[in-house]
Structure 1
Amino acid sequence: MILPDGYSDVPAAKIAAVVTHLEMTAPPARRADPPGSWTLRKIDTPAPDWYRDIYRRVGEDWLWFSRARMSDTELAAIIHAPGIELYALAVDGRDEGLLELDLRQPGHCELVYFGVTGSLIGTGAARFLMNRTLELAWSRDVRRVWVHTCTFDHPSAVAFYQRSGFRPFHRQIEVADDPRLDGTAPRDAARHVPIIE
């Protein structure tokens, strides 16, 4: 459904974001790595507790909530599924970034989750992580790599993806229950998004 021009009502206790889908259909020119001491490691058979911790630390301020609402069984069914790959960006032995790739659809690679913790924003860590991401994605038999982001994410997210070689191809409005009102996220998370009860 295409929303008409003008205003559309959003009920109380809901959040609404513009979601931008971006893709690339050929490997982009490689960007130089910024200086830093980051490493990337593959996480085989991640424990749900590990996943929940890094997911929260990377995404809570951007209102990542869908995986936080899942039971351990539901979460494990996704993160242990064949074709799903998880990686951590590590700094001084501590995981501070998350990359989740979905390779289940032949010829396609989705960056399901991509991000670094707040202390690493602006340090070049995300560029390092994206460089590794694109190397991993395009080392497979794929013809398309894609990602989506929304207006709850960092304000530079769309521009960062575009600088990385992605181009927007689709936009949507997402409306959902505010995760801060049901305890999925703390009430003080994502202060840039007002709570409307």
Structure 2
Amino acid sequence: METIETIGNSNPVLPEGYSLVPKGKLANAVTCLEMREKPEAIAAAERSDLSLARMTVPDLDTYRQLFRAIGEEWMWVSRLVISDGELADILRDPRVEIYVLSSGGTPAGMIELDFREPGACELVFFGVTKETIGTGAGRYLMNHALSIAWAHPIERLWLHTCHFDHPNALSFYRRSGFSPYALLIEVADDPRVTGILPRTAAPHVPILE
């Protein structure tokens, strides 16, 4: 790793290709992945301890509560910063499908599939609650996500993940049949500094103020 000189000074000397991220901001490395063909076999086996149901008339408070429960640890904020009207327009569009995973009658995960682009589907949000990680619920949920998505007349299923996500997320998506096709860098306000998320969220990501 190259040395970053005088980083505490007002004019640090940075190696070529580096950019200093301002305090209060976050730099997020995003990987986009896609699947161009329906998998030959999708084992969406049922489990007695898990169930999946579509949220047919999404309630905004219920949706945001689940969104936080799953994504707060991984810096999910996009659905928390848009207005109720904007969120309602998305969730109540018939081309957007939301499914809730339940474990023992308690919400434990979600899938959000967006079919608004003809011939394509974006797996916008996918995740399980912290308590459910490591139980096989993620594989159960992904197999159902693939079955649901490819039951539609699509030619491409895609998603994106980032380095704020679970450390196994990228490898999980690749094992599920997705292939990386683009890398992006996003610089945005730290939601823990702006107050959108609590300061205890995502402890694996340092806060710089």
CA distance, structure 1, for counterparts of residue 177 and residue 132 of structure 2: 22
Residue number in structure 2 paired with 1:20: 31
> How large is the RMSD of aligned CA atoms in angstroms?
1.6
Report the CA distance between 1:71 and its aligned residue. Answer: 2.2
CA distance in 1, matches of 2:151, 2:109: 21
Instruction: Report runs of 4+ in structure 1 exceeding 4 Å deviation.
Output: 31-36
The Cα shift of 1:164 comes to: 0.2
User: Which residue number in structure 2 is paired with residue 129 of structure 1?
Assistant: 141
- Which residue of the partner structure matches residue 65 of structure 1? 77
- For the Cα contact (< 8 Å) 2:44–2:147, is it kept in 1? no
Tell me which residue corresponds to 2:201: 189
Taking the aligned partners of 2:185 and 2:43, their CA distance within structure 1 comes to: 32
Cα deviation, residue 94, structure 1: 1.3
Q: Distance in 2 between matches of 1:179 and 1:131?
A: 32
Q: Could you tell me how far 1:77 is from its partner in structure 2?
A: 1.4
Residue equivalent to 2:178: 166
Contact 1:34 1:124 in 2 (8 A): no
User: Which of 158, 180, 186 in structure 2 is aligned with 1:146?
Assistant: 158
Q: Distance in 1 between matches of 2:145 and 2:44?
A: 14
Residues 44-71 of structure 1 show CA distances to partners (whole Å, capped at 9, x for unaligned) of 1210001110000000000001111122
Q: Secondary structure at the match of 1:74?
A: helix
| Alignment gaps of 5+ in structure 1 | none
Q: For 1:162 and 1:5, locate their aligned partners in 2 and report how far apart those are by CA, in whole Å.
A: 31
TM-score (norm. length: structure 2): 0.89
Between the aligned partners of 2:154 and 2:175, the Cα distance in structure 1 is 21
- Are the structure 2 counterparts of residues 124 and 34 from structure 1 closer, same or farther at C-alpha, using a change threshold of 3 Å? farther
Counterpart residue number, 1:6: 17
1:39 aligns with 2:51: yes
Q: CA 1:15 to 1:159, structure 2 compared with 1: closer, same or farther past 3 Å?
A: same
**1:117 pairs with 2:146:** no
Q: Which amino acid is 2:127 matched to?
A: G
Matches within 5 A, 1:92-103: 92-103=104-115
- Cα distance in structure 1, aligned partners of 2:165 and 2:23: 21
Q: Which runs of 5+ in 2 are unaligned?
A: 1-14
Structure number with greater Rg is: 2
Q: Aligned partner of 1:10: which letter?
A: V
Q: Which amino acid aligns with 1:114?
A: F
Aligned equivalents of 1:30 and 1:82: distance in 2? 25
Alignment identity in percent?
A: 52
User: What does the per-residue CA deviation read over 1:99-157, in whole Å, with 9 as the maximum and x for residues that have no partner?
Assistant: 10000111101000000000011110000000000000100000000010000000111
1:7 deviates by 1.4
SS of the residue 2:69 aligns to: helix
CA distance in structure 1 between the partners assigned to 2:32 and 2:63 by the alignment: 24
Count of paired positions: 194
On the 8 A contact 2:44/2:144 being kept in 1, the answer is no
Contact kept? 1:36, 1:125, Cα under 8 Å: no
